[in-house]
Amino acid sequence: MENKESSGGLGKTIARGIAQHQASRVKERVEDSTVDFRLEAGQRIEGVAEQIRLLGRRFESSDEAHMLARRLERLADYLRYRPSSEIAGDAWEAARRYRVLWIAGGMFGVVLLYRLLRRSRN
Protein backbone atom coordinates (compact mmCIF):
# COMPACT_ATOMS: atom_id res chain seq x y z
CA MET A 1 0.00 0.00 0.00
CA GLU A 2 2.82 2.37 0.83
CA ASN A 3 4.37 1.85 -2.61
CA LYS A 4 1.12 2.91 -4.37
CA GLU A 5 0.85 6.05 -2.26
CA SER A 6 4.45 7.05 -2.93
CA SER A 7 4.09 6.38 -6.67
CA GLY A 8 0.87 8.44 -6.70
CA GLY A 9 2.70 11.31 -5.02
CA LEU A 10 5.54 10.95 -7.48
CA GLY A 11 3.08 11.05 -10.39
CA LYS A 12 1.51 14.23 -9.06
CA THR A 13 4.93 15.80 -8.61
CA ILE A 14 5.92 14.89 -12.16
CA ALA A 15 2.61 16.20 -13.55
CA ARG A 16 3.04 19.43 -11.59
CA GLY A 17 6.58 19.82 -12.93
CA ILE A 18 5.41 19.25 -16.51
CA ALA A 19 2.58 21.75 -16.09
CA GLN A 20 4.97 24.37 -14.70
CA HIS A 21 7.39 23.76 -17.56
CA GLN A 22 4.60 24.13 -20.14
CA ALA A 23 3.36 27.30 -18.45
CA SER A 24 6.83 28.83 -18.56
CA ARG A 25 7.17 27.92 -22.25
CA VAL A 26 3.82 29.58 -23.03
CA LYS A 27 4.89 32.66 -21.09
CA GLU A 28 8.14 32.84 -23.10
CA ARG A 29 6.23 32.50 -26.39
CA VAL A 30 3.84 35.28 -25.46
CA GLU A 31 6.73 37.52 -24.47
CA ASP A 32 8.58 36.77 -27.73
CA SER A 33 5.51 37.40 -29.86
CA THR A 34 4.86 40.80 -28.32
CA VAL A 35 8.42 42.11 -28.46
CA ASP A 36 8.26 43.20 -32.12
CA PHE A 37 4.86 44.81 -31.62
CA ARG A 38 6.04 46.71 -28.55
CA LEU A 39 9.20 47.90 -30.31
CA GLU A 40 7.22 49.16 -33.30
CA ALA A 41 4.66 50.85 -31.05
CA GLY A 42 7.48 52.55 -29.17
CA GLN A 43 9.00 53.85 -32.40
CA ARG A 44 5.67 55.19 -33.63
CA ILE A 45 4.98 56.90 -30.33
CA GLU A 46 8.40 58.56 -30.45
CA GLY A 47 7.60 59.75 -33.99
CA VAL A 48 4.40 61.35 -32.69
CA ALA A 49 6.38 62.95 -29.86
CA GLU A 50 8.79 64.49 -32.35
CA GLN A 51 5.91 65.83 -34.46
CA ILE A 52 4.38 67.40 -31.35
CA ARG A 53 7.69 69.13 -30.59
CA LEU A 54 7.85 70.50 -34.13
CA LEU A 55 4.28 71.78 -33.93
CA GLY A 56 5.01 73.34 -30.54
CA ARG A 57 7.93 75.30 -31.98
CA ARG A 58 5.84 76.37 -34.94
CA PHE A 59 2.98 77.68 -32.80
CA GLU A 60 5.14 79.07 -30.00
CA SER A 61 3.91 76.52 -27.47
CA SER A 62 7.16 74.66 -27.12
CA ASP A 63 7.04 74.24 -23.32
CA GLU A 64 3.68 72.45 -23.35
CA ALA A 65 4.62 70.51 -26.46
CA HIS A 66 7.91 69.43 -24.89
CA MET A 67 6.14 68.21 -21.74
CA LEU A 68 3.64 66.19 -23.77
CA ALA A 69 6.38 64.81 -26.02
CA ARG A 70 8.42 63.77 -22.99
CA ARG A 71 5.45 61.88 -21.55
CA LEU A 72 4.99 60.10 -24.86
CA GLU A 73 8.67 59.17 -24.90
CA ARG A 74 8.34 57.70 -21.41
CA LEU A 75 5.37 55.69 -22.64
CA ALA A 76 7.46 54.44 -25.57
CA ASP A 77 10.25 53.39 -23.19
CA TYR A 78 7.72 51.68 -20.94
CA LEU A 79 6.41 49.63 -23.85
CA ARG A 80 9.87 48.76 -25.11
CA TYR A 81 11.58 47.78 -21.87
CA ARG A 82 8.89 46.31 -19.61
CA PRO A 83 7.96 42.64 -19.85
CA SER A 84 4.56 41.93 -21.36
CA SER A 85 3.36 40.36 -18.13
CA GLU A 86 3.97 43.61 -16.24
CA ILE A 87 2.24 45.65 -18.94
CA ALA A 88 -0.75 43.32 -18.82
CA GLY A 89 -0.84 43.55 -15.03
CA ASP A 90 -0.71 47.32 -15.17
CA ALA A 91 -3.52 47.34 -17.74
CA TRP A 92 -5.70 45.16 -15.51
CA GLU A 93 -4.98 47.41 -12.54
CA ALA A 94 -5.94 50.50 -14.56
CA ALA A 95 -9.10 48.75 -15.73
CA ARG A 96 -10.07 48.05 -12.13
CA ARG A 97 -9.42 51.65 -11.10
CA TYR A 98 -11.02 53.37 -14.07
CA ARG A 99 -13.83 51.04 -15.13
CA VAL A 100 -15.94 53.71 -16.77
CA LEU A 101 -13.00 54.93 -18.86
CA TRP A 102 -12.22 51.40 -20.06
CA ILE A 103 -15.86 50.71 -20.89
CA ALA A 104 -16.14 53.98 -22.81
CA GLY A 105 -12.90 53.21 -24.66
CA GLY A 106 -14.18 49.75 -25.54
CA MET A 107 -17.44 51.17 -26.86
CA PHE A 108 -15.52 53.73 -28.90
CA GLY A 109 -13.36 50.95 -30.33
CA VAL A 110 -16.42 48.91 -31.28
CA VAL A 111 -17.95 51.88 -33.07
CA LEU A 112 -14.71 52.50 -34.98
CA LEU A 113 -14.44 48.85 -35.92
CA TYR A 114 -18.06 48.80 -37.11
CA ARG A 115 -17.52 51.88 -39.27
CA LEU A 116 -14.33 50.46 -40.77
CA LEU A 117 -16.02 47.16 -41.58
CA ARG A 118 -19.04 48.92 -43.07
CA ARG A 119 -16.79 51.16 -45.18
CA SER A 120 -14.72 48.19 -46.41
CA ARG A 121 -17.89 46.37 -47.60
CA ASN A 122 -18.89 49.38 -49.71
Segment 39-72, tens digit of pLDDT: 888 999 999 999 998 988 888 777 888 899 999 9
Tell me the pTM: 0.56
- Which of 34, 19, 22, 17 lies closest to 86, judged by CA? 34
Burial class (CB in 10 A: 0-12, 13-18, 19+), 26: exposed
The domain spans of the chain are 84-122
Number of Cβ atoms within 10 Å of the Cβ of 95: 14
Segment 107-117, tens digit of pLDDT: 988 998 888 88
- Which of 6, 7, 26, 30 lies closest to 18, judged by CA? 26
